[in-house]
């Protein structure tokens, strides 16, 4: 049993490492320590911003390429606003949407609703020389017009962005670049783990159903497997609704709906799944801790696998 789990975890780790490595090799067309090509972008107030003109007055220009639907972009903007307010006499932030579906009206409303004061607009064709690997992508351009830092992914916290800005605004700054940085992107890891996770979950549910005296092949049919499993201890349709919340959340992201819809669906999924999973764990003689783990994504797969292949015996819930 322990050997099987070790092999599964090793496979997941290897897939994750390979996925991250592939993502890290993505180039964007401009490199740290190289001169940044001049550009002019349109802004929401009807004006334009030109890099060479900005550098006549500022010691640092931060070019942030985002999308109106991007959750990580939305989370890092308050930190950027805080740092901007403290240093706007010496720095400028230009945030432009790189998503062709965004319009100037959408960005203007976005800026107003999020209380952002730095210039915002659209990338358009002006930044065609940049290949954006993901939103957000941020470039810090120093006073000499050189790319001092490239950040793919969001800044994790205020101190990280503040420290990067302070480096280029320091009185003793001598042109040293901070290089290329990439925030951990979990999407490739999650996508790579889906087939393995599905297989592990199917095996676990197969064992759970067989122990409960049901046909194991139900574990191979989406939604029916959830209904059959949960109906062994409670009303199966609640479990189906819990599992439906996850794909609905992913569809809401794909449709570029507000991020709160996605998070609401995730919470709803957990709320619906926990009572069912607690009863499932109890039916196999397990405690509440195991029951909660059976409801949480990722742990759900491993938890059901362990429950399905272990020596735990099913006993009808009271």
pLDDT exceeds cutoff 60 at 18: no
Task: Give the contacts of 141 (CB within 8 A, at least 6 positions apart).
Answer: 36, 51, 55, 60, 61, 62, 63, 147, 148
Which pLDDT score is estimated for 193?
A: 73
Which pLDDT score is estimated for 156?
A: 85
Predicted TM-score (pTM) of the model is: 0.59
Q: Tokens 């579906």 appear where?
A: 101
Distance CA 301, CA 309 (A): 12
Map out the domains of the chain with their CATH numbers: 2-15+187-309 (no CATH), 31-182 (3.40.30.10)
Which pLDDT score is estimated for 6?
A: 46
- Segment 270-274 shows an average pLDDT of 90
pLDDT exceeds cutoff 50 at 19: no
pLDDT exceeds cutoff 50 at 306: yes
Of 287, 290, 283, the C-alpha closest to 305 is 290
Structure tokens at 253: 């992201």
Distance CA 186, CA 313 (A): 36
Asked if 149 and 164 count as a contact pair (C-beta separation under 8 A), the reply is yes
- Segment 14-38 shows an average pLDDT of 63
């Amino acid at each position: 049993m322990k050997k099987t789990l070790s092999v599964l975890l090793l496979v997941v780790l290897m897939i994750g490492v390979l996925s991250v490595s592939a993502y890290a090799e993505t180039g964007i067309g401009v490199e740290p320590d190289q001169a940044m090509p001049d550009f002019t972008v349109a802004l929401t107030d009807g004006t334009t911003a030109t890099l060479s003109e900005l550098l006549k007055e500022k010691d640092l220009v931060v070019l942030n390429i985002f999308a109106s639907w991007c959750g990580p972009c939305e989370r890092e903007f308050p930190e950027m606003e805080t740092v901007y307010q403290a240093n706007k006499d010496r720095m400028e932030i230009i945030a432009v949407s790189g998503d062709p579906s965004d319009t100037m009206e959408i960005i203007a409303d976005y800026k107003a609703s999020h209380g952002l004061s730095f210039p915002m607009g659209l990338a358009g064709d002006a930044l065609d020389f940049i290949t954006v690997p993901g939103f957000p992508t941020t470039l810090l351009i120093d006073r000499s017009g050189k790319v001092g830092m490239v950040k793919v992914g969001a800044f994790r916290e205020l101190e990280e962005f503040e420290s990067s800005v302070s480096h280029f605004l320091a009185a003793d700054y001598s042109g040293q670049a901070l290089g290329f940085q990439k925030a951990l992107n979990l999407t490739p890891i999650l996508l790579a783990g889906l087939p393995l996770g599905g297989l592990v979950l199917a095996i676990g549910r197969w064992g759970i159903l067989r122990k409960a005296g049901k046909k194991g092949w139900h574990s191979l049919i989406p939604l029916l497997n959830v209904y059959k499993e949960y109906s062994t201890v409670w009303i199966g349709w609640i479990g189906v609704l819990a599992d439906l919340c996850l794909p609905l959340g992913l569809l809401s992201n794909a449709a570029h709906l507000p991020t709160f819809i996605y998070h609401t669906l995730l919470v709803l999924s957990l709320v619906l799944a926990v009572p069912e999973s607690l009863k499932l764990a109890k039916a196999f003689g397990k405690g509440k801790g195991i029951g909660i783990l059976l409801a949480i994504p990722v742990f759900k797969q491993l938890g059901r696998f362990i429950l399905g292949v272990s020596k735990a015996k099913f006993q009808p819930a009271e």
